[in-house]
Amino acid sequence: MRICFPTENLQGLDSTVYGHFGSAPGFIIVDTGSEGIEEIKKITDCPILR
């Protein structure tokens, strides 16, 4: 399962969670199966939207 968190900064698991998903400057995607982490700077960088 992949879980996406809006963040104020991109510092992996040390990132600060942002209060509003739609205007967040970045996102952290955590894959619970592989325990991997992906950082996305802006929503336009999201691989799902490509």
Q: Where are the domains of the chain?
A: 2-49
Q: How many CB atoms lie within 10 A of CB 18?
A: 17
Q: How confident is residue 3, by pLDDT bands cut at 50, 70 and 90?
A: very high
Residue range 21-30, pLDDT digits in tens: 888 888 999 9
Given this model, what pLDDT does residue 23 score?
A: 84
Q: What is the mean pLDDT of the chain?
A: 83
Q: How confident is residue 46, by pLDDT bands cut at 50, 70 and 90?
A: low
Please say whether the beta carbons of 4 and 31 come within 8 A: no
Distance CA 4, CA 1 (A): 10
Averaged pLDDT for residues 22-49: 80
